[in-house]
Amino acid sequence: MPLLDTLEALNGLINPAANGTIASLWRRLEVDFLAKRDQVINAQKTNKTKTPTFGFQNWALTHVHPKVLVWATDDCYIDGNASLSDDILRRWKSTLAHLSTSLGVIAFLFGITIVGSRTCCDALRSLCRAIPRLTLNDIFARFVDRLQNEKRAHGRTPEFLFKQVIQACTHLHLRMLLLSH
């Protein structure tokens, strides 16, 4: 199934629990995305241009309907995950509400270890309080940028890089506040 057809079928779902349809379409969407990405990369290699960096997470964040993204990622990453205690779910509640997202989306974008990290949760909650207009897209873009451009990122844990991104956002916000006064 071509990428856009799969995206349309997935975004068109009304009932998230429709007999496992969402999980199979989600897997199909990723396969179609990777196939399309490979076509683009191969075409650009023949033209001797620089190969761009693609990421299914980034693409899905901007193309999949937000509710469908929540259903699909919660199904894949959160539902049935016994390691996620009520305490973890409670800690994330206000941050998830602020960002209009779910733990599944956080796990999909940043990794399941971020979800279980009290430090990461607390840091993101503080950042959301300090910068109310902050979006999940902003945070993820900075996270990807850090992964791609940080020379020392190789070998670092996702938690370490996530905390660096939160700190960088906080410092940038403080500098902007100081400059505005």
Dist. CA 1–CA 29, nearest whole Å: 9
* Predicted local distance difference test score (pLDDT) of residue 50: 44
* Residue 48 pLDDT > 70: no
Cα torsion angle, 138, 143, 148, 149, sign: positive
Look up the pTM and report it: 0.79
pLDDT digits (tens, 9 = 90+) for 15-47: 555 556 788 889 899 999 988 877 776 667 654
* Residue 178 pLDDT > 80: no
* Predicted local distance difference test score (pLDDT) of residue 49: 44
* Residue 97 pLDDT > 60: yes
Q: How many residues does the chain have?
A: 181
- What average pLDDT does range 132-140 have in this prediction? 91
Dist. CA 45–CA 24, nearest whole Å: 32
CB 101 within 8 A of CB 70: yes
- Residue 69 vs residues 100, 133, 136, 147: alpha-carbon distances, Å: 11, 21, 13, 23
The mean pLDDT value of the chain amounts to 82
Dist. CA 115–CA 105, nearest whole Å: 10
* Predicted local distance difference test score (pLDDT) of residue 16: 56
* Predicted local distance difference test score (pLDDT) of residue 95: 95
CB 76 within 8 A of CB 108: yes
Amino acid, res. 124: L
CB 129 within 8 A of CB 105: no
Please tell me which of 3-17, 59-73, 165-179 the model is most confident about, judged by mean pLDDT: 59-73
- What average pLDDT does range 69-91 have in this prediction? 84
